[in-house]
């Protein structure tokens, strides 16, 4: 039952932190790998718990995609239910549309039977007119706006997912590195962690970033700010970098 | 992927902003130079060299670069020459530099200040002989200095033609920038070190291709980020120094929006505030506080204008 002493907003925030913490636990090898279903089953406020599933989006698949967890029928049911209670908003931002679309596609991959009403995202080059050309250094910091947008798309930065967003991240790895550096210098560690995820993802996909992403991730972790979501971002980045290391090492196993 | 459409009007071309900034800054330096005179009876000991003496050198640097690059107008040429004459007069036609260098052999500021005048054609025969003599001593190469300061001395020696066996690669490799480190670790003080490393290797943009290619590439990559970060917190002095760095690169980095920002931060009278804090109304205090960033802006504007052909 919802606690009447806790505001809905606080309850939702707590639920998001709690779910992020569970996903993080699964990444670190916790025994309970039925992350999503158990999160809702044991929640003090089931509706807030379902909202958290929607907020984390593709991140709830991180353990299974990184090989440290599973995603079973009970989890599928919970994600389906979360879309029923909180359907995609018609006026959702393009980033939210991409997150929902990715979640729905992953759900189908792991046993879901429909796309949950998630609309297909617009082509990345549609719309606002600035295009997706290579980073033009002399223009007015296109890397800054673009990297902030990619930070909002960071739940897509996972292994085993591909698409135009990932291709753009590979192509514009330099803009991501600039955005990550800017966030570090502004001590905005949550944004830095989101962008470190993309840099790690690009590395795993065979692009070599212009900076040492592992060092950046370690530094963000040592700051220990941003709560469970930032911890989850750095943990995912770390796993992808480890996987990239194994791939790049001569004779190392292929993931 | 798309980015939000820019709502602000397109920035002016760099040539326009740079010309405006440099012209106004030079005018301000000329109109206020008499606030920077050495007290009567000042000797080479200089209890407070940073108060008047070093600013005279900075003014001379800016004016010498205006003349070196070819001034934008006859008026600016005249202003630059007047500033150099003023500073040279204050230094007693170089006698002060000579006395200070003779008294303090290990100090490098007399040499460094002198080069700004030499660049513009001023000479002091006894100081020339003294510097030639000191360059022959072992000690000048053994002075304990931080790496970017070593580059300052090397550049001054190069300008004087008294550089002997200077290993530019070794000096560059010893600096923070020369190691092309993690760009997100830089702090305010180190950013100044970076700027000065570039100034001295390139002799303030005269030798842009002397920067090692890996350093040039590193700066092209990270300079936009550093400019962005220090613009946001309105550190105009450092911001303008970073703009000089952009103008010193083999392929100059001249961002019209950054130049617009500096032009917007500059006061109508030409003063460039060192940061976003309130500017004191007292003329003497204003001069003390904001002489340096105004010099930096004059240098930045001069070099950017010179290298902004067609931009």
On the question of pLDDT at A253 being above 80, the answer is no
Indicate the average pLDDT of chain A: 89
Nearest neighbour of A141 by CB, restricted to B186, B221, B257: B257
- Mark yes or no for CB contact B11/A178 under 8 Å: no
Report the C-alpha dihedral over residues A15, A17, A23, A28, rounded to 10 degrees. -150
Quick one: closest CA in B to A148, which residue?
A: B3
Nearest neighbour of B221 by CB, restricted to A141, A185, A210: A210
Chain centroid to CA B191: 14
How do residues A112-150 score in pLDDT, each as one tens digit? 988 888 888 986 643 343 444 444 443 445 899 999 999
Supply the pLDDT for residue A117: 84
- Distance, CA of A240 to CA of B104 (rounded, Å): 58
On the question of pLDDT at A58 being above 90, the answer is yes
Please, which pLDDT band fits residue A67 given cuts at 50, 70 and 90? very high
- Mark yes or no for CB contact B3/A174 under 8 Å: no
Please, which pLDDT band fits residue A35 given cuts at 50, 70 and 90? confident
- Mark yes or no for CB contact A146/B3 under 8 Å: yes
- Distance, CA of A191 to CA of A59 (rounded, Å): 16
- Mark yes or no for CB contact A216/B220 under 8 Å: no
- Distance, CA of A85 to CA of A51 (rounded, Å): 8
Mean pLDDT of all residues in A13-24: 95
Least Cα distance to A240 among A150, A155, A159 occurs for: A159
Residues of A in contact with B235 (CB under 8 A): none
Chain centroid to CA B137: 28
Quick one: closest CA in A to B255, which residue?
A: A138
Place of tokens 């326009």: B16
Residues of B in contact with A174 (CB under 8 A): 221
- Mark yes or no for CB contact A178/B5 under 8 Å: no
Residues of A in contact with B1 (CB under 8 A): 124-125, 132, 146, 149-150, 165, 168, 172
Quick one: closest CA in B to A133, which residue?
A: B1
CB contact residues (below 8 A), chain B span 233-252, against chain A:
none
Which residues of chain A have a Cβ shorter than 8 Å from any chain B Cβ? 124-132, 137-138, 140-146, 149-150, 165, 168, 172, 174, 177-178, 180-182, 184-186, 192, 210-212, 215-216, 219
Substitution target from A182, A193, A208 for chain B, most B beta carbons within 10 A: A182
- Mark yes or no for CB contact B255/A138 under 8 Å: yes
Percent of chain A with pLDDT over 90: 78
Supply the pLDDT for residue A126: 33
Quick one: closest CA in B to A209, which residue?
A: B221
Fill in the DSSP letter of residue B229. H
- Distance, CA of B271 to CA of B265 (rounded, Å): 9
Residue by residue, DSSP assigns B130-164 as HHHHHHTSSHHHH----HHHHHHHHHHHHHHT---
Please, which pLDDT band fits residue A46 given cuts at 50, 70 and 90? very high
Residue by residue, DSSP assigns B64-105 as HHHHHH--SSHHHHHHHHHHHHHHHHHTGGGHHHHHHHHH-T
pLDDT in tens, chain B (311 residues): 434 444 567 888 999 999 999 999 999 999 999 999 888 888 888 877 888 899 999 999 999 999 999 977 899 999 999 999 999 999 999 999 999 999 999 999 999 999 999 999 999 999 999 999 999 998 887 889 999 999 999 999 999 999 888 999 999 999 999 999 999 999 999 999 999 999 999 999 999 999 999 999 999 999 999 999 999 999 999 999 999 999 999 999 999 999 999 999 999 999 999 999 999 999 999 999 999 999 999 999 999 999 997 56
Domain annotation for chain B: domains and CATH numbers:
14-307 (1.50.10)
Long-range contacts of A40-49 (CB under 8 A, 24+ apart): A40/A78, A40/A81, A43/A15, A43/A18, A44/A1, A44/A2, A44/A3, A45/A1, A45/A2, A45/A3, A45/A6, A45/A11, A45/A15, A47/A2, A47/A85, A48/A2, A48/A8, A48/A11, A48/A12, A48/A14, A48/A15, A49/A15, A49/A18, A49/A19
Least Cα distance to B219 among B189, B187, B244 occurs for: B244
- Distance, CA of A186 to CA of A180 (rounded, Å): 10
Residues of A in contact with B257 (CB under 8 A): 140-141
Chain centroid to CA A245: 21
Supply the pLDDT for residue A4: 67
Any A CB within 8 A of B11 CB: yes
- Mark yes or no for CB contact B253/A212 under 8 Å: no
A123: helix, strand or coil: coil
Supply the pLDDT for residue B126: 98
Supply the pLDDT for residue B7: 52
Quick one: closest CA in B to A142, which residue?
A: B3
Any A CB within 8 A of B187 CB: no
Phi, psi of B164 (to 5 degrees): -125, 125
Fill in the DSSP letter of residue B202. T
Any A CB within 8 A of B224 CB: yes
Higher pLDDT, B232 or A254: B232
- Mark yes or no for CB contact A125/B1 under 8 Å: yes
Please, which pLDDT band fits residue A248 given cuts at 50, 70 and 90? confident
What pTM was estimated for this model as a whole? 0.93
Please, which pLDDT band fits residue A251 given cuts at 50, 70 and 90? low
How do residues A74-94 score in pLDDT, each as one tens digit? 999 999 999 999 999 999 999
């Amino acid at each position: 039952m919802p606690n009447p002493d806790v505001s809905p907003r606080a309850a939702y925030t707590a639920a998001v932190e709690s779910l992020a913490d569970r996903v993080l636990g699964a990444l670190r090898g916790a025994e309970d790998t039925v992350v999503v279903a158990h999160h809702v089953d044991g929640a003090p406020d089931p509706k807030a718990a379902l909202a958290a599933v929607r907020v984390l989006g593709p991140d709830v698949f991180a353990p299974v995609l990184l090989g440290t967890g599973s995603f079973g029928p009970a989890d599928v049911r919970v994600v389906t239910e979360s879309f029923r209670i909180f359907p995609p908003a018609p006026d959702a931002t393009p980033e939210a549309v991409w997150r929902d679309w990715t979640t729905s596609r992953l759900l189908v991959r792991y046993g879901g039977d429909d796309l949950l009403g998630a609309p297909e995202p617009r082509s990345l080059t549609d719309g606002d007119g600035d295009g997706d050309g290579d980073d033009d250094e002399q223009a007015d910091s296109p890397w800054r706006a673009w990297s902030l947008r990619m930070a909002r798309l960071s739940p897509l930065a996972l292994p085993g997912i591909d698409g135009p967003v990932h291709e753009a991240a590979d192509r514009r790895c330099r803009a991501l590195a600039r955005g990550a550096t800017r966030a570090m210098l502004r001590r905005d560690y949550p944004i830095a962690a989101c962008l470190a995820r993309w840099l790690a993802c690009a590395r795993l996909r065979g692009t070599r970033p212009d900076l040492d992403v592992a060092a950046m991730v370690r530094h963000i972790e040592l700051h220990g700010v941003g709560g469970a979501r930032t911890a989850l971002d750095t943990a995912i980045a770390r796993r992808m970098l480890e996987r990239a290391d194994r791939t790049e090492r001569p004779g190392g196993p292929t993931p | 992927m798309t980015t939000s459409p820019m709502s602000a009007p397109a920035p002016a071309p760099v040539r326009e902003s740079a010309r405006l900034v440099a012209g106004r800054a030079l005018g301000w330096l000329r109109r206020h130079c008499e606030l920077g005179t050495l007290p009567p009876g000042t000797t080479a000991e200089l209890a407070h060299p940073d108060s008047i003496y070093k600013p005279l050198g900075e003014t001379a640097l800016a004016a010498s670069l205006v003349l070196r690059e070819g001034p934008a107008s006859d008026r600016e040429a005249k202003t630059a020459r007047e500033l150099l004459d003023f500073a040279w007069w204050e230094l007693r036609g170089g006698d002060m530099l000579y006395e200070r260098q003779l008294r303090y052999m290990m100090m490098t500021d007399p040499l460094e200040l002198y080069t700004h005048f030499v660049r513009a054609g001023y000479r002091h025969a006894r100081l020339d002989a003294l510097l030639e003599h000191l360059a022959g001593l072992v000690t000048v190469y053994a002075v304990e200095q931080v790496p970017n300061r070593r580059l300052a001395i090397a550049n001054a020696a190069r300008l004087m033609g008294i550089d002997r066996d200077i290993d530019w690669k070794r000096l560059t490799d010893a600096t923070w920038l020369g190691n092309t480190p993690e760009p997100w670790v830089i702090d305010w003080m180190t950013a100044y070190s970076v700027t000065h490393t570039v100034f001295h290797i390139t002799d303030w943009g005269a030798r842009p291709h002397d920067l090692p290619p890996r350093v040039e590439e590193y700066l092209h990559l990270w300079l936009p980020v550093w400019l962005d970060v220090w613009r946001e917190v309105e550190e105009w002095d450092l911001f303008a120094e970073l703009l000089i760095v952009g103008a010193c690169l083999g392929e100059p980095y001249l961002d019209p929006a950054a130049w617009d920002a500096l032009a917007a931060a500059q006061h109508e009278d030409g003063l460039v505030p060192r940061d976003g804090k309130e500017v004191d109304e007292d003329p003497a205090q204003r001069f003390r506080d904001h002489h340096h960033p105004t010099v930096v802006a004059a240098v930045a504007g001069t070099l950017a204008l010179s290298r902004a052909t067609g931009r």
